[in-house]
Amino acid sequence: MANRTVTIINGDGIGPEVMAATLRVLEALELPLDFEYKDAGAEVIAKYGTNLPDETVEAVLRNGVALKGPTGTVVGGGLPSANVGLRKRLDLYSSLRPVKSVPNVKTRYEDVDLVVVRENTESLYAGLEHIIVPGVVESLKIITEKASTRIARFAFEHSKRHGRKRVTAVHKANIMKLSDGLFLDCCRKVSREFPEIKYDEFIIDNLCMQLVKDPTKFDVLVLENLYGDIVSDLCAGLVGGLGVVPGANIGERTAVFEAVHGTAPDIAGKGIANPTALMMSSVMMLDWLGMRDEAKRMQSAIQKVYTEGKVRTGDLGGTANTREFTDAIIAAL
């Protein structure tokens, strides 16, 4: 059987370091994978005149899958986000963020195990805004039946495939009666196709309060774009932060698996970054590629290192550098 080619996008800041660590683990698994390196992010603008070169998008389309490090985005100016650009151009309509408690990572909560499914292509987060007159800006929130139905179906199908029992639609339809109302209507229609899965609804502000009171009572959350962006980071904070949470952006034909944390320029090049998030994202990638046994092996190795608690990086109170942590994961394989 021919090897599957994965597009590798190192990204900015600590991206190349956490990517190198993750690829060491994937290579230790001796998988039938080849890697094709392409560029994206703030650090390649000088070279290409853009943070998302066409050849990178074409490579992801051709290979159907990518593993991506974090990319930087200027706040309040500059080029649009490379992440948003990838999602739009590849129609990666679903952001999938599993959030699960990590052994020996002390947080306020135990036994958190939920999944955030975020619509990735529209709503306010799409950034459709313009100046009407000086001092007045209009930002457009677009909600469509097609995108809302598609993300709702993704959430229910993911739940069915992974033995999840409940899907919660998150909204603000008490105020945005037409836009969020349409999103809810689509979720309700899809829910009728999956009678074995419990369906309910929460207003976004109440959901945030309930999450910080007791996140263990939620299972799968389905949200439109901006709400999903905020809630997925909030949920990551419940289990130790973005450094221990994986992420994926999935479309009909392609998928990009990525670390969802920032580029951490303050520690870039020091060899002390925690590669856990990207390693866990690559576990999701292997599962998506149908390499489920290998995914379980890698996941088990990560779990073992955390359960033993002897080797951990500085962000989690340990002293290990990136290489030492990676060595421990490979040993655990």
Active site residues: 125, 172, 205, 229
Closest to 22 in 3D by CA, of 288, 276, 333: 276
- Residue 271: what are its φ and ψ, rounded to 5°? 70, 25
Helices (H), the chain: 15-28, 45-48, 54-63, 82-90, 145-161, 179-191, 204-213, 225-238, 276-288, 292-308, 322-332
- Angle formed by the axes of helices 292-308 and 322-332, nearest 10°: 120
Are 234 and 82 in contact, with CB atoms under 8 Å apart? no
CB 178: neighbour CB atoms within 10 A?
10
